Amino acid sequence: MDTNLSIFTPCPRQVGMKHMATDLLIVTPGFPESAEDDTCIPPLQEYLWALLAQRPHLRVAVIALQYPYTEVPYDWFGVRVFPCNGRNSRVRWLFSQYRAWKHFDTLNDEGAIGCVQGLWLGQAATLGQRMAAKAGARTVITLMGQDARDNTRWLKHVERSTALVCLSARHADVLRTSSDRSPTCVIPWGSPPHMASMGPQERTTDMLFVGSHIPVKQPDVFEEVFQCVADQRAVQAMMIGSDGMQVQPSHPGFLMKAEMAYGSSKLGKCGAMPRGNVHMEMLAAKLLVHTSAYESQGYVFDEALATGMSIVSFPVGSATVSDRWRVVETRSEMTAAVIDLLDRAPSTMPITLHPMLDTVNAYLKLYGLD
C-alpha cells in the first residue's frame, strides 16, 4: 500500500456515547488502494473528489469486499476505507463477509449511519442493504454495467423502497426489459475536468480504441473498420488495453505489443496502462472509435470529450448524436463516419458531457443530505 495514504486505527467504542457518525457508507467490490491506483473505478474516484470538495465535512466510509488485497484499514483523501481482501475468490467469500460485518459494526457503534450506497447489483449491493436495515439508514443501489441485464436475480433481495440508480436512459431501459423493476432515477457519473491544456499541440493518432479486449467491446470490429478506412485513405490508429488487466500504479509506462502496417497506414497495439497515460494518448488523438456492443454509461465517452476528441460509436450508454459524435448502427456506417469526421477535422475544444455538479447534487438528494 502506498505510504502517502495513512493507515488508521478505527476509533474505539465509547460505551453509552456515539461520538462520530457516518454520513455515507459505500459498499463496493473494489476501491483504489492508493493515490496512484487511478484505474480502479475511475468515475467513482472523480465523484468522491467532487463530493468532498463540495461538502468537505461529509463523513464518508467505504467497505471494499474484494480489492485491495489487504485487511488493513486506511485513509484515501479523507475517506475511511475498510478492505476485506476477498480477492474475487468464492473460497474467501465467507471470510470477507465476516470482515465486512465487523467493519460495519465498528462504524455503527461509532455513530449513526445516514445512508448506505451499494455499487453493482450483486453481493455488495444486497449486503449494503442488509447493513442499512440494521442501521436504520437510507439505501441507494447504483447499477454499474451489465448487472442491469444479467444480475437481476439479485432484485428479489432488494426492497421496493430502495433507490435504484441507472447511468443512462438506455441502461434504464435494459433494467426495465430484463426485470419487473424500473430505476428510481438516472444519474450519470460526472465527467472528469477538461484536460486539453495538458496535451500536445498536434494530434497524430486518427483512430483510438480504449477498452479491454473482451467480446462485448468487439476489438475485432475496430480492426475491421481500420482496414476499411485504410483502403480509402492513410490513417494512423492505436488500440489500448490488450487483455483487460490493470498495470501496477508504479508501472513507468506501457509497452507497444504490436504494430501492423497496412499500406501507408499503421495500427499500433498497446497493453493496459495507467489512466493518466491513457489521457495523454487521448490528447494526441482525433477520434475515439468505440466498438462496444453494450455500455451502461460509457465513461470513456466522458473522458474522450473532456480531452477534446470526437467520437464514433454504436448506440450504447450515453451515446448522443452531435457534430462531434456520430452514432451508427453498422460497421459500414462506422467506416463512413470515421472518414467523414477525419475529412472535416472537427474542433478539439473539450466538452463536458455530464456536469459533475449535477451528479453530486442528485446523489446528495438521494442520501437525504441536500
pLDDT tens, 315-343?
Answer: 999 999 999 999 999 999 999 999 999 99
Q: Is 204 exposed, middle or buried (0-12, 13-18, 19+ CB in 10 A)?
A: exposed
**Average pLDDT of 8-23?**
49
**Which structural domains are found in the chain, ordered by start?**
22-190+356-367 (3.40.50.2000), 196-344 (3.40.50.2000)
pLDDT digits (tens, 9 = 90+) for 246-293: 434 334 444 566 788 989 999 999 988 899 999 999 999 999 999 999
Here the cell at position 25 is: 457508507
Question: 85-93 — which CB contacts under 8 Å span 24+ positions?
Answer: 86/29, 88/29, 93/123
- Counting residues of the chain whose pLDDT is more than 90, the rounded percentage is 84
pLDDT of residue 201: 72
- Counting residues of the chain whose pLDDT is more than 70, the rounded percentage is 90
DSSP state of 11: P
DSSP bridge partners of 239: 209, 269
Label each residue of 239-257 as H, E or C: EECCCCCCCCCCCCCCCEE
pLDDT digits (tens, 9 = 90+) for 170-194: 999 999 999 999 999 999 999 999 9
Q: Is 225 exposed, middle or buried (0-12, 13-18, 19+ CB in 10 A)?
A: buried
What is the CB neighbour count within 10 angstroms for residue 202?
A: 6
pLDDT of residue 90: 86
7 membership: H or E segment, kind and range: none
Here the cell at position 80 is: 475511511
Mean per-residue pLDDT over the chain, rounded: 90
Closest Cα partner for 76 from 104, 36, 111, 108?
36
pLDDT digits (tens, 9 = 90+) for 85-133: 999 998 898 999 999 999 999 999 999 999 999 999 999 999 999 999 9
Cβ-contact 189, 171 below 8 angstroms: no
